[in-house]
Each structure stands twice: as C-alpha cells, then as structure tokens.
Chains A and B, each alone.
Chain A
Amino acid sequence: MVWRDYQKEIADDHFFYVRSCIRQSFFPGSEQFFLHLMRDVLGKDVYENPSHTTCTGIGYHADVVPFSTIQTVIARHYALMKEAGYKNIAISCVTSFGIYTEILETWKHFPEELEKTREYLYKATGREFDVPENVVHTSDLVYKFRDQIAAAAKYPLINKQTGEPLRVVEHIGCHYAKIFPKYGVGGAEFPQVLSGMIESWGGQVIDYPERRHCCGFGFRQYLVQANRGYSLSNTVKKFSSMKAYKPDLVLTNCPGCTMFMDKWQYTIKEMEGTTFGDNGESIPVLTYEELAALVMGYNPWDIGLQIHMVQSEPLLRKMGIEFDPSDKFRTKDGRQMPIPKNLINS
C-alpha cells in the first residue's frame, strides 16, 4: 500500500513544546492532559518556554502578516529551543504545524530566505537559531505511544450496550499532511495518525465519501461574515455525508476542525433544526488528547468535555463511563459555575 511509503521518523524524547492559541480556551483539557501524559505518565522530557508566542497562523491565513515576519517569529522559537538545548519540536496545533513545515521547506528550497531570517532575528532580538532536527505534531507523539495508552486503557472504544467497537470518524487537519505529504504519518490521502489510535484503542474507523473534505473552518471563509455561509455549508456537507454511517464520535487533531465541527452542529441545529447523530442527537467531537484521557479513565469533567458545544454524555454512556451530571459545572473547590442554557445532547 502506498501510504506505507510515507512512514515518518518521530523522535523519542526531549521535546520543545509550542502551544496552540485557541485550544486552551475551547478545549482546555487537551494541552493540559498532553503535558500530563508525556511528563507524568510516560516520563518524557517536554520543555515549554513561557515566552513563546503565537506562530501568527491566524494572521498568516487572514493575510494580514507578511511572510518574512512569520519566518522571524518561527526563527525566534527555534532560538528559544536552541537556548534550552532541545533539537526536537512538538507542535500542538495543525495550522502551526503547516506553517512550521512550510517555512522549513521554504528554507530548504530558498537558502537565501534562511540567511535573511537569521539577520532579521539577530537585528530584532539578538538571538541565534538552528533548524530543528525533528519536527513533529503532538498527535504524532500520541500516535507513537498509542500502544502504551492502550495498555493503560480502562474504557476501550467499545460500545458497552452492543459490545461492538465504537464507530469513529477521524478527521485530519488539512495542513497536517495535504500540503507536504512526507511530514504526515501515511501521506496525504490515507494518513494513519488518528486511525492508528482508534484501531489500537479498539474503535472502528469509518471511510465515508467526504472523508477528506475540509472541516469547514477555512480562515477567510469564517473570518468575513459574508462568507460564513460557505464555512457552514462545508461542515453540513461533511456531516450529511457521514450521517448514514451513524458515527458515535468524531476525532480530530486540529483546533480549527474540532471547534468548527463542534460549534457548527449547534448553529445548523438552530438555523434549520438538522442534527446528524441518531434520534435527534448531535455527534460529539473530541481531540485525540481528550479521547486518550477518556480511554485511560480520567474524569470527563476534568478533561473539560463540558466546555464543548456538543455534550459527549451519549458517548460516555456508550463507553460505560460513570459521570456525575451535578458537578458538571462545579469548580475544583466545589463552587457552582453558571450553567449554559441550551446545551446540545445533555
């Protein structure tokens, strides 16, 4: 099979970790659990420098940040890495991953850009930087250690009521492998990074016609209100294509995809009353870290699943995870937070 030609080399340890801008606010548990998983569970050395900035992704795709500025910002992160003595970089967001890989490719084909960036960085911050040896996305790491997670699994992806593996739709962020296939595990057409996890945790991957279709985010479509209809229509097209397969869960590895496939289900339900799960419910959308945490038996509310638009209670019931609805919106020390009004699936 062709995708075997695209096996990429993922480093084992010592990563310089760069966060995503929007995942902390929309899916707070994801990055938190990733660091916990790598450091405490797997005992890996993951260093995070608090002064690393955005990778300018949203600015880049909204066409407001010039390319040379982006290169300098990325070079500054490489400089922080160099100072911290790390050779491998783990990138939390797929859009960033797309930018980092694009810049590495640009430097490879146009060495003069690399020299200019060195000069700019030095002038701006006085720092020096090296090109990292190994660039990985955090989902690559979870993919690499998926078997350790499977070993520690308390709730495999099996539907307790029917005993069959959960039907999971995986959606890989386009900037992960479609731009530079060799940077993704398994190439552009059939990337293995998420389906690998699902299969090793007992789930069943669904192949549906719009599998490779865009999740609907598309920066410029979303940012400009006049175009927002396109963004929504893409997501609706994707969900109506997967609806026939009755998926229990959508797994993603990119902040944009997770957010929009989650939020647009609410919007389309409000606008046209259409839902895509069975008996009127919507389909929960989880990031790979959240799913890994669920499989390992952490409390759903600690992972932050209640922050999603589409509540994942039906999924939890299927996996047989006990959860206490009352302390869903209660802080760690018991104070009651305000409860959102029309939650979906709850």
Chain B
Amino acid sequence: MEKFGFSLSKARVINYDANDRGIVRYIIEREPSLKLCIECGCCTATCTTGNFTDFSLREIHILLKRGENEQVREKIRKCMLCGKCILVCPRGVNTRNVISVAKQAFRKTEGYEL
C-alpha cells in the first residue's frame, strides 16, 4: 500500500522457474509444430489484427513458452483466426491451431494450473 507517496514497482523480470508452463505443454501435445518456431516475426507482419492494434503472434508464442500465461489470456482474444500467418510461416508452424488450442487451454484453466 502506498504510505509514502510512492509504491513498490512490480519486477518486469520473467522468473522462468516460478512460472507454470502447463498451458504450453498442453498446446505442444496437440500441436507439436509450435516447437519449430524460430520467432522470426513473419506471422506478426502479415497479421490482419496486427494492422489495427499491437497484436504479435510471435510475442504470444514466446510468452507461452516462458509461462507468462496471464498476459496471453487477454491478448489471444484479438486473433481473428484468418489463417494468413500459416501461409507465410517459414517453418510450417500451424499457428492457427496454436491459438485455437491455447484458447481452449485458457478456458479450461480459468486461473488454476492445468
């Protein structure tokens, strides 16, 4: 609580070991091609939603792999599932299924570990 006119700022560090990666395991079981992502950003560049707001599929892939699930829960709803990213992905990641399975995982967890 703020007693002296300033408050403790939250650490921005990703604490890899404290994070729970249940969701990305759930995704990789159903969509193993996520492992091939080299985070080149091709999907984000062609993204329909990306045209309007700062939605980055590449960033979502990484945040999921690091276990930063709560940040992804809101961001992921912006995807329109239009599938352009699949056509351009140089590594053949089925990005659309990653989003669809991720949404499913988030619906299942609603806040507790999977």
Residues of chain A with a CB closer than 8 A to B4's CB:
228, 267, 270-271
A232 touches B3 (CB 8 A): no
> B6 in the interface, Cβ–Cβ < 8 Å?
yes
Contact of A233 among B1, B2, B3, B9 (CB under 8 A): B9
Closest to A270 in B: B3
Residues of chain B with a CB closer than 8 A to A271's CB:
1-4, 7-8
Residues of chain A with a CB closer than 8 A to B9's CB:
229-230, 233
Residues of chain B with a CB closer than 8 A to A268's CB:
8
B11 touches A232 (CB 8 A): no
> B5 in the interface, Cβ–Cβ < 8 Å?
yes
Contact of B8 among A225, A226, A272 (CB under 8 A): A272
CA distance A270 to B2 in the complex (A): 10
Give chain A interface residues in 223-247, CB to chain B under 8 Å: 225-230, 232-233, 236-237
A225 touches B1 (CB 8 A): no
What total of A-B pairs shows CB separation below 8 Å? 31
A75 CB → nearest B CB, Å: 38
A225 touches B6 (CB 8 A): yes
A253 CB → nearest B CB, Å: 27
Contact of B6 among A226, A270, A272 (CB under 8 A): A226
A225 touches B5 (CB 8 A): yes
Interface centre among B2, B6, B11 (most CB of A within 10 A): B6
B6 touches A236 (CB 8 A): no
Residues of chain A with a CB closer than 8 A to B8's CB:
229, 232-233, 236, 268, 271-272
B46 CB → nearest A CB, Å: 38
We find that the number of chain B residues with CB closer than 8 angstroms to chain A is: 10
A45 CB → nearest B CB, Å: 46
Residues of chain B with a CB closer than 8 A to A232's CB:
6, 8
What per-residue 1/0 map shows which CB atoms of B4-22 lie under 8 Å from chain A? 1111110100000000000
We find that the number of chain A residues with CB closer than 8 angstroms to chain B is: 15
Residues of chain B with a CB closer than 8 A to A267's CB:
4
A234 CB → nearest B CB, Å: 9
B86 CB → nearest A CB, Å: 42
A233 touches B5 (CB 8 A): no
B96 CB → nearest A CB, Å: 40
CA distance A225 to B4 in the complex (A): 9
Residues of chain B with a CB closer than 8 A to A236's CB:
8
CA distance A237 to B12 in the complex (A): 12
A212 CB → nearest B CB, Å: 15
Closest to B4 in A: A267
Closest to B5 in A: A225
Give chain A interface residues in 25-76, CB to chain B under 8 Å: none
Closest to A226 in B: B6
CA distance A272 to B9 in the complex (A): 13
Closest to A272 in B: B8
Give chain A interface residues in 200-237, CB to chain B under 8 Å: 225-230, 232-233, 236-237
Residues of chain A with a CB closer than 8 A to B6's CB:
225-229, 232
Closest to B7 in A: A229
CA distance A267 to B3 in the complex (A): 9
Additional A-B contacts beyond A225-B5, A226-B6, A227-B6 (11; CB < 8 A) = A228-B5, A228-B6, A229-B6, A229-B8, A229-B9, A232-B6, A237-B11, A267-B4, A271-B3, A272-B1, A272-B8
Name A residues whose Cβ lies closer than 8 Å to a Cβ of B.
Answer: 225-230, 232-233, 236-237, 267-268, 270-272
The 9 tightest CB contacts between A and B, nearest first, are A228-B6, A229-B6, A229-B9, A233-B9, A233-B8, A229-B7, A271-B3, A225-B5, A230-B9
Q: What are 16 A-to-B residue pairs whose CB atoms are below 8 Å?
A: A227-B6, A228-B4, A228-B6, A229-B6, A229-B7, A229-B9, A230-B9, A232-B6, A233-B8, A233-B11, A236-B8, A237-B11, A267-B4, A268-B8, A271-B3, A271-B7
